[in-house]
Amino acid sequence: MSKVLVVKAHPFSEEYSRTMKVTNAFLKSYREHHPDDEIEEIHLYDITIPEIDRDLLEAWNQLKQRVPFYALSIEQQHKVTLFDSFYCEFFGKG
């Protein structure tokens, strides 16, 4: 059994989008020919992804250098916590 990730990065349904019509036709055919495979679909326009900005990148860099979490700025702590909780919720990692 294989696992397939489909990332849909289009705001419209197949009713308005030929790209989504082709994508959905592919998925239908794939499911018919690979019934045991697991398909996970991510709709980027349906989720809110926290912004990865300078504060967050600098915080990650500091954490890699073993700077304690409490030594980060309050804003950096907030952004790291927000991004981590999004990641854990969305990808099921703990």
* 89 vs 33, higher pLDDT: 33
What average pLDDT score do residues 24-49 get?
92
Q: Does the pLDDT of residue 71 top 90, yes or no?
A: yes
pLDDT at residue 93, rounded to an integer: 61
Strand (E) positions, the chain? 3-8, 38-43
pTM comes to 0.59
What average pLDDT score do residues 2-27 get?
91
Given a contact cutoff of 8 angstroms between Cβ atoms, the answer to whether 37 and 74 are in contact is no
Q: Does the pLDDT of residue 85 top 60, yes or no?
A: yes
pLDDT band at 63 (very low <50, low <70, confident <90, very high): very high
